[in-house]
Amino acid sequence: MLLRHTPKEISGRAALTINPAKTCQPIGAMYAALGIHGCLPHSHGSQGCCAYHRSTLTRHYKEPISAATSSFTEGASVFGGQANLLQAIDNIFSVYDPEVIAVHTTCLSETIGDDLKQIRIKAEKEGKIPAGKTVLGANTPSYVGSHVTGFSNMVKSMAGLAEPTGKKNGKVNVIPGWVEPCDMEELKRLMSLIGVRFIMFPDTSGVLNGPLSGEYAMFPEGGVTVRELRSAGDSIGTLALGEWCSADAARWLDARHKVPCSVLDMPFGLAATDRFIDALRTIAGVSIPEQVSHERGQLVDMISDMHQYFYSRKVALAGDPDQLISMTEFLVSLDMCPVHIVTGTPGRKFEERIREITGEVPCTVNVRAGGDMFLLHQWIKNEPVDLLIGNTYCKYIARDEDIPLVRWGFPILDRQGHQYFPTVGYKGGLRILEKILGVLLDRQDRDAPEKSFELVM
């Protein structure tokens, strides 16, 4: 009982987080930056911050994450980190020769008040940015928001590279949000099947799920190029997947460069994928290809075959807003009861959206934005559940309360596969169902008395 001190009684906590359901802004910014081709993320702060961001991403993606740091010491902490960053830009281009340096701030540099834009302009004037190379920056103070906010801020900076020429390129900008590299691959496969030409950013496929080739590549093949990002201002529209991760960049492109945007839910589960496919079909002006209808039919078939095992099961979820919204909708469509839902990312809109989705669910639903794992555990103690869905940190609750756990979201530190097996789209829906069914039926097998232990379930 590692969490044996969690009491069942819930008392008000206004200024205390226990076991956060989020991590810090720069981690999101670093993940987004890795989705740019030839990019070296740079953490403008102390070495400790950078080490934490890199190790969290390395543990989740099982790939070495390269990133540089401004290495603040006492002097920079007091007088500002401009000199460190200028030196770093010079060193990085000389030693590693990336196409792009994507700088994000940290709590420390934000508190000092370092001005990234001014430092970048100074670096340009001093000739520290070679011709054809790019430095972009995002403000990611971690005392507000979460890793999701940091991701969104860096994606918005990418959108800032757009340079419209006045001639449309016939492509659609697709902002996939914080999904796995394999999910980005799956989205690209679906778009290609439908015949949509696209610019996807960020795109970590081929960067964080590449093969072991025996050759070390400092900058893998994948990632959106700066050229594509510049062209994003000439696109015919933008599809932003997820209000929290992607909408800001899409709305900025719309307001600044008149690239019309639609904000959709992330395509997890049947209904959200239907909406994504329909949006693509409308943009491309085509009918849905047979292959896509076939995949949809397979998902519907599995839902009908296995509905008896899903029906009325109570579920607790922890994770990030965009993912939780689509997953909750999917669970409701399976006649499951998502009863406790927590995200560490703040935002009342999340709670309202979940209430809308779960309006017809025949149970009381607890939902909290800016909540923590401690609260989720307390809710579970008061109203037990059949299933827990969330990241690796949920394993402590799952163990103490003896609940089957489906690992999904970020970070997953103790399992493999999430970077290779997509959970978006119809095929991804099959994967989600397979994972849920696996743990529910394993539990049924484990708990069945001998007289009712069945070979066929």
Which residues would be at the binding site for ligand SF4 (CB under 6 A)?
A: 24, 26, 45, 49, 52, 106-107, 142
Residue 111 CB, nearest approach to ligand SF4 (Å):
9
Smallest distance from ligand SF4 to CB 32, Å: 15
Q: What residues contact 33, with CB distance under 8 A and at least 6 apart? A: 39, 41, 100, 102, 104, 154, 202
3-state SS class at 137: strand
Give the nearer residue to ligand SF4 in terms of CB position, either 149 or 419: 149
CB nearer to ligand SF4: give 49 or 253: 49
Q: Is 56 or 378 the residue whose CB approaches ligand SF4 more closely?
A: 56
Toward ligand SF4, which CB reaches closer, 27 or 259? 27
C-alpha of 16 from chain center: 25
User: Where would I find the beta strands (DSSP E) of 15-60?
Assistant: 39-44
Q: Name the minimum Å distance from CB 119 to ligand SF4.
A: 18
Nearer to ligand SF4, 53 or 313 (CB): 53
Shortest distance, CB of residue 17 to ligand SF4, whole angstroms? 12
Write out the two tokens for 84.
Answer: 């460190």
For the bound state, the minimum distance from the C-beta of residue 26 to ligand SF4, rounded and expressed in Å, comes to 5
Q: How far is the CB of 244 from ligand SF4 (least distance, A)?
A: 19
In angstroms, the CA 361 to CA 369 distance is 20
Residue closer to ligand SF4, measured from CB, 149 or 358: 149
| Minimum gap (Å) between residue 27 Cβ and ligand SF4 | 7
Q: How far is the CB of 51 from ligand SF4 (least distance, A)?
A: 9
Is 77 or 87 the residue whose CB approaches ligand SF4 more closely? Answer: 77
Q: How far is the CB of 150 from ligand SF4 (least distance, A)?
A: 9
Closer to ligand SF4 by Cβ: residue 105 or 358: 105
To ligand SF4, the closest distance from the beta carbon of 238 in angstroms equals: 29
Q: Which of 119, 114, 131 is nearest to 88 (CA)?
A: 119
Count of C-beta atoms within a 10 Å radius of residue 293:
13
- Closest to ligand SF4 by CB, 25 vs 323, is 25
Quote the DSSP letter at residue 36.
Answer: B
> 107 or 182, CB closer to ligand SF4?
107
